[in-house]
Structure 1
Amino acid sequence: MAVASLVFVTLVFWALVRVMGLILARFYPQKFKELTDPVAPGSPALLPTSSSHGSARKRFHHLSIGHWSLSFSTNALNSALYKLVPDTPPWRAFHRLFYSAGAVFGLLSLFGSMAFLAANGISLLVVFAKLASPSADITAVQTLSPQDLEFRSNSSSSYSTRTYFAQSMAGGSNGFVSLIPGVNIHVSSLGYYVLALLVCGVVHELGHALAAIVERVPIESVGVFLYVIYPGAFVDLHQASLETKGPSQKLRVICAGVWHNVVLGLWVWLVLTTLPLWLSWGYKLSNSGVVVLDVTRDSPLRGHVPPAAMISQVNGRDASTVQDWEQLLYENLVDDTSIHQGYCVTASREDKGTLECCDVSEAHPFGRRPSSLQCFQELDATKTLMSPMQACLLAHNITENHPRCRSRSDCDMASGPMQCMSVYVPQPYVRLIRLSIRDRESTATLNPSSKDTSRTVTFLGDPREIWEGVRIGSLVPRARWLPICIPYMVEELLQFIMSFTFALAVFNMVPSHMLDGQHALVVIVDVIMDWIHGHVSGESLDVSGKSHVSFGRVDARKRSTVKWISNAATVLLSVTMLRSVLGAFGI
C-alpha cells in the first residue's frame, strides 16, 4: 500500500509538471522559449582576481523539463559565492589549508571505499561458494535470540524511539543499508528524505564551488535538479581553467565536496548530541517519565495510550529516559517473571468445559473467540495430583486490586477460600505489562508536585508489540501551547542528513564512472605514471602539472589504467548496491 501510494503521488506530480510546462508554453511562449533554450557557455577569464567575475557575464536562467527530470541552472548566484571567499592573504591561506585537509581525506576515502567494496565482493563470493558446495545446507535458517528479534537498541536516536529512520537502519548488512521510500522508509518520512538529500547535495556542490574560487577556477553556473523523487544540486566549472592547475590544486577542488559533507556530518552530530540545549527555549528533558509521540494504527494500545501522555512506570519500575524504557521492555521480554506472577483470588473448581476463555493453545494464546476475560490458572497446582484450577477473570482488575503471591500459603484465608493464580497463556513471549499513564491534561503544567492522576493500562502480549507500536520521547514542551512534535521532527531530519552526508563522503569517492572518485583517480594516475616515466626514461618531470591533460586526451596507457580501475569499481559498487537494495526488500 505504501509503495502504491508513493507511485501514485509521483505520477500525479510529474503529470502536473508537464501540464504546467504546456500552459507556460501556450500563454508565455517567448519567455518560456528564453528560459528553456540551451545556453551557450561563456568564455570568462581563466584566472579571475576578484569577485566581480560572477557579474561580468550577462545573467541567465535555464530550465529543463524532461519526462522524469526537472533542472534549473543560473549564474545569478556567482557573485554571492565569490563574496563567501574573501580575497585576502589570511583567508586565502586558511582556505588552502582547509581544502588541503579535504584532499587528504578524499584520498583516504577513495582507498578506503575501494577496500570496503573489495571486502564486500569477496564476502559475497564466499557466500556463493558455500551455497554451491554439495554439503551446503541451504534450508538451514539462522535462529535469533529473543533480544535480537526486532529488538535492537536505537543508539542513533537519543531522544525518541522507533523513528522511521531508525527502523529502516535496523538489520543492515555490512554497515550499508539502502533507504528506499515506500519500502523501508515510510511515505510519511518522504519529506525528511527529500529535504535531507537536497541539503547534502547543496553542501557538497558548495564545497566544489568555494574550492574552485580559492584556486581561481571560474564558476559557469550553479543549479538544482529533481530526478523522479531524488533531488540534487550541481555546479559547472570552467574546465579549461581547471586543466591548467597542478595535481594538488585539482585534488583540492575535486575532494572539496566530500570534505564539506564530512564537516556537515560532524556539525549535525554535535547538534544531535546537544539537542536539548538548542531547544531549551521551549523544551526540556522530562524527569518524570517518557512522553508518547505516536501509536501505530495496528497497535493493541491504540486508544488506550493517547499521544502526549506520559508513561512514568513499567511494571512498577521508573521509566525516566528513552534508555530506561527500552531496557525495561527488553528485560520483560527475556524474563518471564511477569507472566508467572501470582495473585490471590477467590475461586472454586468449575467444569472446565464452561471456561471458554481457557480454550487456548500456542496458535490461539488468547482463546478462539474475542473475550474481555483472561484465563487464570492455579500457580502451585503441580504440588497436587489434581488438575490445575482455572478461572476466567478480568486481568486488569486482578492485577490492580488483588495482592500478589508465590503460593497459596501467601494468601489471607480470613475472607474465604483463596487460590494463588497467574495468567495462563501457552505462548513463550507473552508477558503481562502494566504501564502507569498520565494523560496530557494532568501533565500540562509538568509540575512533579501537582496532584497525581495517573492510571494503569494492562497489556498482555509480546513486549515487542509495545516497542514497535508506541513511539516515545524524552523532550517535553515547557508550555502547553507548544507542539510536542517539533523536537522529534528536528531529530529525524538531522538523522537523515547525518546518514546521507556521511554516505556521500565515502561512496562519492569510489573511482566509479561519473563520481568524484573517478576524477581524483585521473589525477593520481597522471602523477604516478608521469613519475614512473620520468624515472625510467631519465626525463625531468614537470611538477607544476601544467603539462597534464584532461581525461579525454591522456595517453593510451593512462586511459587504459583509469578505464580498468573505474570499470572494476563500478562493478563492485553495483554489486554492493544490488545487495543492499535486495536486503531492503527483505530478499
Structure 2
Amino acid sequence: MGIITPFSFALVLRSINAYTKQFQVNYKEKDNAMPLLHFSKSQPCKSSSSLKASYEDWLISHGLTVSPFHMRWQTSLFNHQFYNWGRWKPRFLYLWFSIGMIFGIAAMFGSVILLAKTLIQTLSQMLSEAPTGQNDQMLQVVVPGVNLPISQLSYFFIAILISGVIHEVGHGVAAIREQVRFNGFGIFIFIVYPGAFVDLFTTHLQLISPVQQLRIFCAGVWHNFVLGIASLVVLFLLPAILFPFYYTGAGALVTEVAEDSPANGPRGLFVGDLVSSLEDCSVQSVEDWNSCLTKISLMPQTGYCIKASVLQQLSYPSRARKAVEASQLCRTNMDCQKDFVPSLCVTPSLENQTRFLRVKHPPQPDMLFVGHLLHLQYTVSLSSFIPRHNFLSVDLPVVMETFCKYLISLSGALAVINAVPCFALDGQWILNSFLEATLSPMVVEKQNRELVGFLILLGGSALLAANVALGLWVVTAR
C-alpha cells in the first residue's frame, strides 16, 4: 500500500542520513590514521576506497541517497517556486490552510471511526460461513495481481506519485506560509512504491505555535482531499469535456477482447463493435452493460418463441442460430401466443450458473453466448465514449476515465490513512499538536500530555495494523 506518509518518513530519513554521514567521517578518519607501513599489494585497496569515495561524493553532489529497498533524490531547484507559492495572497492562504486544519482534525477522528467499522466488517466476513465480497467497504488492501489487475499497475503507481507530490506541496507551501524555512523537495522509491517528501527546518517547526503546526501537518491530507474532489469533478464532466470528439448514450463500444474470451471468434465481438442490448435489456453505456449482466444472472434463463414446424429441425446448429435470431424472448408459452402461427417457449438446457445469451451489436449478426457471465464481463473491455471521427482513438476516454478513478481512490485513501493517529504518519504530528493546543490549560505537565498522546498513538497504530493484516488475509486467502 502506498499509504506510508512521505512527509513523516522524510524526518526519519534525515536522522538516518545524519548517522550515515557521521559513520562515513569516522570511517575515513580511521582509514587515514591506519597505514604506517606500505606494501605494493595494498594499492588495489586504495583504489577501491578511492572509487567508493568518488561514488559517494557523486551521489551527494546530485542529491541521491541509495540504501537497501530505498532510493531518494532531493533538490533545491524548486525552492524558488515553493517560496512564490507560499507568499502568494497571504490572506487567502491563511484561510485555505485554516480550512485544511479543520478538515485534518475532523479526518483524524473520522479515520478512526472508519477503520473501526472496516475492522468489524472484516471480522464478520471472516467468521461468516458464506463470506460476501468487500465491495461495501470503503477501505480495501490492494494486492497487485489479486484485486489489482497487472495491466493497470501503471495507473496505480502514477496516481500514487501524483497524490504524494500534491500531498507534499501542501506541507511545503503551508510551512513557508508559517515562516518555516524550506530546505528542499525530493522524490523517493521505497521497494517499488514511489512517493515524495519535503525537507523543513526542524528548529523553526518546533518554535511556532501548535495551531501553526496544525496548519502545516494537516495541509497534506487537505490537499489529497481536494485532489480527489477535483478528479471526481473531471470524471463527472468528462462527457462534456470530450463532447467535440466523442458522444455517449448510443451503446457500449468494444475496446478490447481478450484472446481467451468466449466472445472472441468469427461470430463474436470485435474492437469497434457497438453493443446495443443483451437479450431484452437495453445497453446505452458501460454501466448498462454491467447492470444488465447482473440482472440476467439473477433471473431464470430466458426462453425463445420457436414455431412448432421449426422445432424439429433444430438439431442442425445453423438452423438453431437462425431460429434464435429471428425469435422473440419469452418466459412461458403464453408469451408466444401473439402470433397466428403456433409457437412454443423453448428454454436452453444448461448447467448451473451457465447462461445462453443473445448480444446485439448491429450491423453485425447477433452473438450467441453460452457460458458464465462473469467470464464475458471480465474478458471484454468497453467504453461509453464513441469517437465522432475514425482517426480518434477508442482508448483515450478509457485511459482518462480509469486514471481519474485511480486518483479519486488513492488520493482519498492517502487522506484517510495519513490522518490516522499512528506512529510515522501525519496523524502522529496532528495529534501531538492538537493535544498541545487543547490540553495545555487542563493538563499542565507536558509529560502527562505526551503520555496521553502515546497511548492514543498506540491504539491507532494497532487499529491500522489489524486492518492491514486482516485485509491482506481476506484478499489473499479467499
Same fold per superposition (TM over 0.5): yes
Sequence identity (%): 26
Contact 2:221 2:416 (C-alpha < 8 Å) held by counterparts: yes
Where does residue 355 of structure 2 map in the other structure?
Answer: 431
Contact 2:305 2:344 (C-alpha < 8 Å) held by counterparts: no
Distance in 1, matches of 2:243 and 2:418, equals 37
Q: Does 1:292 align with 2:274?
A: no
Where does residue 83 of structure 1 map in the other structure?
Answer: 84
Deviation, 1:428, is: 4.4
Q: Which runs of 5+ in 2 are unaligned?
A: 1-47
Q: Does 1:578 align with 2:469?
A: yes
Which of 223, 232, 238 in structure 1 is aligned with 2:186?
223
SS at match of 1:455: coil
Q: Does 1:70 align with 2:71?
A: yes
Deviation, 1:200, is: 0.3
Deviation, 1:236, is: 1.1
Larger radius of gyration: 1
Distance in 1, matches of 2:203 and 2:252, equals 59
- 1:368-424 Cα deviation digits (max 9, x unpaired): xxxxxxxx6xxxxxxxxxxxxxx46443222125688838988878xxxx9847243
One-letter code aligned to 1:470: V
One-letter code aligned to 1:36: L
- 1:426-459 Cα deviation digits (max 9, x unpaired): 4344433222224xxxxxxxxxxxxxx4322112
Distance in 2, matches of 1:183 and 1:487, equals 25
Distance 1:298 1:568, change over 3 A: same
Distance in 2, matches of 1:433 and 1:242, equals 65
Where does residue 92 of structure 1 map in the other structure?
Answer: 90
TM alignment of 1:427-466, pairs within 5 A: 427-438=351-362, 453-466=363-376
Which of 404, 413, 436 in structure 2 is aligned with 1:503?
413
TM alignment of 1:336-375, pairs within 5 A: 336=300, 338-339=302-303, 341-346=305-310
Deviation, 1:235, is: 0.5
Name which structure has the greater RCO, CA cutoff 8 Å, separation 6+.
Answer: 2
Distance in 1, matches of 2:251 and 2:137, equals 36
Deviation, 1:61, is: 3.6
Q: Does 1:565 align with 2:465?
A: no
SS at match of 1:301: coil
Q: Which runs of 5+ in 1 are unaligned?
A: 1-24, 38-59, 132-137, 145-169, 350-375, 377-390, 439-452, 535-553
Distance in 1, matches of 2:175 and 2:293, equals 53
Where does residue 34 of structure 1 map in the other structure?
Answer: 57
One-letter code aligned to 2:346: S
- 1:511-543 Cα deviation digits (max 9, x unpaired): 111111101111122234421146xxxxxxxxx
Deviation, 1:257, is: 0.5
Q: Does 1:141 align with 2:66?
A: no
Distance 1:31 1:437, change over 3 A: farther
Bigger mean CA offset, 307-316 vs 106-115? 307-316
Contact 2:211 2:437 (C-alpha < 8 Å) held by counterparts: no
Contact 1:343 1:399 (C-alpha < 8 Å) held by counterparts: no
Distance 1:284 1:557, change over 3 A: same
Distance 1:31 1:271, change over 3 A: farther
Contact 1:100 1:252 (C-alpha < 8 Å) held by counterparts: yes
- 1:263-290 Cα deviation digits (max 9, x unpaired): 11110000000012222343222x4322
Distance 1:190 1:402, change over 3 A: closer
Distance in 2, matches of 1:236 and 1:501, equals 22
Where does residue 272 of structure 1 map in the other structure?
Answer: 235
Distance in 1, matches of 2:207 and 2:311, equals 93
Distance in 2, matches of 1:309 and 1:434, equals 15
One-letter code aligned to 2:322: N
One-letter code aligned to 1:396: R
TM-score by length of 1: 0.66
Distance 1:344 1:393, change over 3 A: farther
Distance 1:316 1:562, change over 3 A: closer
Distance 1:241 1:403, change over 3 A: closer
Where does residue 104 of structure 1 map in the other structure?
Answer: 102
Distance 1:399 1:73, change over 3 A: same
Where does residue 396 of structure 1 map in the other structure?
Answer: 321
TM alignment of 1:115-514, pairs within 5 A: 115-121=113-119, 140-141=129-130, 171-172=134-135, 174-285=137-248, 287-303=249-265, 304-315=268-279, 318-336=282-300, 338-339=302-303, 341-346=305-310, 391=315, 393-394=317-318, 395-401=320-326, 406=333, 420=344, 422-438=346-362, 453-514=363-424
Distance in 2, matches of 1:459 and 1:124, equals 36
Where does residue 428 of structure 2 map in the other structure?
Answer: 518
Deviation, 1:31, is: 6.5
Distance in 1, matches of 2:159 and 2:329, equals 52
Distance 1:336 1:125, change over 3 A: closer
SS at match of 1:531: coil
More helix by share: 2
Distance 1:266 1:141, change over 3 A: closer
Deviation, 1:311, is: 1.2
Distance 1:347 1:284, change over 3 A: closer
Distance in 1, matches of 2:217 and 2:338, equals 76
One-letter code aligned to 2:380: V
SS at match of 1:585: helix
Contact 2:305 2:327 (C-alpha < 8 Å) held by counterparts: no
Distance in 1, matches of 2:264 and 2:185, equals 49
Distance in 2, matches of 1:511 and 1:419, equals 69
Distance 1:477 1:348, change over 3 A: closer
Distance in 1, matches of 2:99 and 2:125, equals 39
Contact 2:73 2:186 (C-alpha < 8 Å) held by counterparts: yes
Deviation, 1:342, is: 3.7
Contact 1:344 1:421 (C-alpha < 8 Å) held by counterparts: no
Distance in 2, matches of 1:524 and 1:234, equals 23
Bigger mean CA offset, 268-277 vs 76-85? 76-85
Where does residue 51 of structure 1 map in the other structure?
Answer: none
Where does residue 147 of structure 1 map in the other structure?
Answer: none
Alignment coverage as a number of residue pairs: 425
